[in-house]
Amino acid sequence: MPRESLKSPLALLGGLIVLYLAFPLVAFLVRFITAPQRGFHVPGLLPALWVSVSCATISLALIALFGVPLAYVLARSKGRVASVVGLIVQIPLALPPLMSGILLVYVVGPYTFLGRLSGERLTNSKIGIVIAMTFVATPFLIVAARAAFASVDQGLLDVATTLGHSDVSRFWRVALPVAGPGVRAGMLLAWLRAFGEYGAVVVLAYNPTSLPIYTYNQFSGVGLPTTLAPTALAIAVAVAVVVISRLHFTRLKGSAKALPTGEAPKMAIPRPVRFDIDHHLGAFHLVLSHESPIHHLAVLGPSGSGKSALLRSLAGLYGPSPGGVWFGEESLRGVAVEKRRVGYVAQGFSLFPHLTVWQQLLFATEATPELAAYWLAELHLEGLEGRYPSQISGGQRQRVALAQVLCSSPQVLLLDEPFSALDVPVRLELRRVLRRLQRETGLATVLVTHDPEEAAFLSDEMLIISNGHELQSGPSRQVFTRPGSLEVARLLGITNLHHATVVDEGLIDAGGVLITTNRAELGAGTAVAWSIRPDRVVVVAAEEPESESESESANRYGAGSHELVGTLVDVADVGVAVDLFVALAPHLELQARTTEEVELRVGDRCRVVLAPDDISLWPVLDGPMHESDLNVAAT
């Protein structure tokens, strides 16, 4: 611990409680060393120790057998029944142990039904001690284990489900290992509580004598001298158990000593995804339908628009209630998630922290060593087989996640913003990897993202959504070149977005600047929004050495191109290109992007050349527009 931390007020406060806890132990140790008699000679000491140790261990086994599954169920349940059960579980924590013993007498005492049925063997026996210990110690394990299971990332369980594992399998292979530290802490607390229990045991089962009862008898009959031995043994046992519980055992490596020969998967038959979703998530309503023969779909929308909810619906993680889902001609209504054969790459890095890379690839129920070896090599993961997720980079973890789902031989790949947590170079590299996999495997893919460039790069068709509803869908190029509304244009990150009014056939007035368009069907007075891509805006000097003929201008800038005069207000070198910002009017500024050398300087007069075919135009149907809504920054 750094010296600065030791000087902080928090450290001083913590030190006070440590002194308070340690001082009695030190005082006891001094007395134990200097005392002439310690009580080891008194009969019954070791049998009492054995009774406490053995009964506490049996009690812990029973608590773990029934309590750990209950904690898992409670952690995943949010209803009223779970709340009531959670309250019942915690009641023994609030009861004085003596009263817990009295409660147990009403259930297993010699005059109860169970007492008579057992021949009065449930009290004054080891069975009675175990019953008493179990009642008072159970809450310690359940409370700790429930908190540990609640902290397990739901994404891990979802991925395990899509990889073919049932609920019981997910509990044993994912939830329990991940929540292991918390469960072990609960087991430690439960065992120590059972080992030291006095009140409930003395009421329910005075004989055989446990170590706490033995110690109290010595104290009340003889005094402190003979209590030194049992107290020392209790401290030694407690220390030993705590030390054992904190040992870190080296995990066995899960990689194969000699990797098998990789075996390429069979080319998948493309199965375009169709769906008709109508699902309520609290107050949020997701209503989306899609049908197309296209195999690669991108769903684009802002945060909270329902993208991830749509993907979970397609995977079946909400059950059959969201609506119909089809992979090709196969309806998945009523098909369990683990039987759907979907490759689900959850948002973030949903890898199992307790498994090595090789174990991750073999985790799917359909995975084979040969297939795992193939994808290990194909995604350049050689040499990482024995590493855990915490020991590899973000890009490598994402490759492992892709390899993991590909090893399950899925029929559809569902990708939930798979590259959002990566650095730009790694993100671009993995986009290329995924695009190559789309071609080589033939898998249909559904990608959800808020990145328009990523959506265009990895899809042939796009679905734009907002607030759970569709705004526009169609081929990717069509959506980008002809956004259906102002909101779609915003989501696509389209720049040079402004408002105007139609003044004549194919002519709009944008803040006093007349601009020619190819939209002749809009009547005069129609309020519109318009935009043009920066790379389609041409900026030239205000005066050229030689004038061009109309045909030469058409060949150079496009048919019908017209020029506007403005002032260069900013020049930004963005590395791969240069952005020019030209003011055409007090409230009208256009951005141009070029890869050519720029000789103009800020403040120079210049001409802006626009081709009507490059201008997109939308009637404004949802009320007046504001400049803050229209001036969208470039992505």
Please indicate, yes or no, if residue 437 is contained in any of the structural domains: yes
Same domain, 467 and 499: no
User: CA-CA distance, 472 to 465, in Å (whole number)?
Assistant: 7
Find the helix or strand (DSSP H, E) in which 279 lies. Answer: strand 273-281
Same domain, 475 and 536: no
Q: Phi/psi at 593 (nearest 5 deg)?
A: -125, 130
Q: Phi/psi at 366 (nearest 5 deg)?
A: -95, 0
Same domain, 563 and 531: yes
Q: Where are the alpha helices (DSSP H) in 320-393?
A: 357-361, 369-378
- Taking only the tens place, the pLDDT of each residue in 429-449 is 888 888 888 888 888 999 999
Instruction: Return all residues near 412 (Cβ < 8 A) that are at least 6 apart.
Output: 271, 273, 314, 327, 341, 342, 343, 443, 444, 445, 446
Q: Give 127's Cβ-side CA count (13 Å radius).
A: 10
Q: Which residue has the tokens 């009208």?
A: 588
Q: Is 154 left (phi over 0), alpha (psi -120 to 50) or beta?
A: alpha
Please indicate, yes or no, if residue 174 is contained in any of the structural domains: yes
Same domain, 166 and 221: yes
Same domain, 502 and 474: no
Please indicate, yes or no, if residue 15 is contained in any of the structural domains: no
Same domain, 326 and 414: yes
CATH number for the domain that contains residue 280:
3.40.50.300
Please indicate, yes or no, if residue 338 is contained in any of the structural domains: yes
CATH number for the domain that contains residue 28:
1.10.3720.10
- Taking only the tens place, the pLDDT of each residue in 499-512 is 899 998 889 999 89
User: In the predicted model, what is the mean pLDDT of residues 323-349?
Assistant: 87
pLDDT > 90: percent of the chain: 49
Same domain, 614 and 528: yes
Domain boundary among 466, 481, 496: 481
Buried b (16+ CB within 10 A) or exposed e, 521-539: ebeeebbbbbbbbbebbbb
Domain extent for 504: 486-630
CATH number for the domain that contains residue 511:
2.40.50.140
Is residue 583 within 8 Å of residue 627, measured between CB atoms?
no
Q: Which residue has the tokens 């019942």?
A: 88
147, 153, 123, 173: which is closest to 71 by C-alpha? 147
Same domain, 553 and 433: no
Coil, strand or helix at 602? coil
Same domain, 517 and 391: no
* Tally of domains within the chain: 3
Q: Is 311 left (phi over 0), alpha (psi -120 to 50) or beta?
A: alpha
Which pLDDT band holds residue 233 (cuts at 50, 70, 90)? very high
Coil, strand or helix at 581? strand
Same domain, 367 and 351: yes
Instruction: Return all residues near 16 (Cβ < 8 A) that are at least 6 apart.
Output: none
pTM, two decimal places: 0.80
Among the residue ranges 453-467, 484-498, 578-592, the one predicted with the least confidence is 484-498
**In angstroms, how far is CA 58 from the centroid of its own chain?**
38
Same domain, 490 and 430: no
Same domain, 56 and 119: yes
- Taking only the tens place, the pLDDT of each residue in 361-410 is 999 998 999 999 999 988 889 889 999 999 998 888 988 999 999 999 89
Please indicate, yes or no, if residue 85 is contained in any of the structural domains: yes
279, 288, 275, 274: which is closest to 322 by C-alpha? 279
Please indicate, yes or no, if residue 71 is contained in any of the structural domains: yes
Domain boundary among 481, 499, 525: 481
Handedness of CA 315, 321, 325, 330 (dihedral sign): positive
Q: Is 605 left (phi over 0), alpha (psi -120 to 50) or beta?
A: beta
422, 446, 265: which is closest to 343 by C-alpha? 446
Q: Is 189 left (phi over 0), alpha (psi -120 to 50) or beta?
A: alpha
User: CA-CA distance, 448 to 312, in Å (whole number)?
Assistant: 11
Measure the CA dihedral 616/619/624/627, to 10°: 0
- Taking only the tens place, the pLDDT of each residue in 53-73 is 999 999 999 999 999 999 999
In this predicted structure, what is the pLDDT of residue 248? Answer: 67
User: CA-CA distance, 149 to 73, in Å (whole number)?
Assistant: 9
Domain boundary among 194, 225, 245: 245
In this predicted structure, what is the pLDDT of residue 500? Answer: 92
Strands (E), 517-561: 527-532, 538-541
